[in-house]
Amino acid sequence: MVTSSGNDIITLFANFLSVITVAICFILKIPQILTILKVGNAKGINIIALLMELSSYTIMMSYNYRSGYAILSYLEYPIILIQEIILIVCVLYYKDMLNITSLAGASVYFLTAASFLLGMVPLGLLAFLVPLCTPIGASSKVVQLYEILRTRNSESVSVLTWFISAFTNFTRVFTICVESMDLTLLLNFTINTFLSSSVMIAAYWFKHPKRD
């Protein structure tokens, strides 16, 4: 009876964290989007890194959806995806890269995402792709971390965005432990928690670079 009650409390807390995670994901990319719109350019933002993030989020959302996991355990993915797409459009616009090539790439992306979600692609293939999301997502974060350490300047980097990223990844480690113990997902979120925290710390440390 005590064990059952304890499990109920843990599950309730996990659900609470899921709700908090989903709620704050509504603003994950907003600080970066607002910064681009404010300064009127996208200098220092790597479009390849953004596309890597987009592919990672898409695969993870599709895998969770097709696996039949509780919607609260991955609802942040569609929310982040919408923001990521808006961010990519902003970057393409300010880099003068909105052209036929980018439109063709967008078409390929949406067709691929639809095939993932609608079951046209075997779940086994998605399960194979999920582990690749870890190096893909990690690589984009490593590139950003290296850029901050190289330039010793993070004035254009949003500490809030990276704090949210670290926090949401950490909460997912807990909720997955409670709900599914999916080792693939646990590895992904643990690594991303560490890297997002590293970028956040570096961004805070170099937020006000010394001037000669």
Closest CA to 127 of 60, 51, 58: 60
Note the pTM of the prediction, 2 decimals: 0.76
Closest CA to 80 of 95, 62, 61: 61
Mind listing the pLDDT tens digit for each residue in 46-87? Answer: 788 889 999 999 999 999 999 988 887 788 789 889 999 999
**Which parts of the chain have pLDDT scores under 50?**
1-2, 212
Q: How far apart are CA 73 and CA 22, in angstroms?
A: 9
Name the strand (E) or helix (H) holding 33: helix 30-39
What pLDDT is stored for residue 3 in this prediction?
A: 61
What pLDDT is stored for residue 106 in this prediction?
A: 95
What pLDDT is stored for residue 194 in this prediction?
A: 94
Domain boundaries, the chain: 2-205
- Cα separation of the two ends of the chain: 67
Helices (H), 40-122: 47-67, 76-94, 100-117
Residue type for 68, please? G
Q: How far apart are CA 76 and CA 22, in angstroms?
A: 5
What pLDDT is stored for residue 4 in this prediction?
A: 65
Name the strand (E) or helix (H) holding 176: helix 159-179
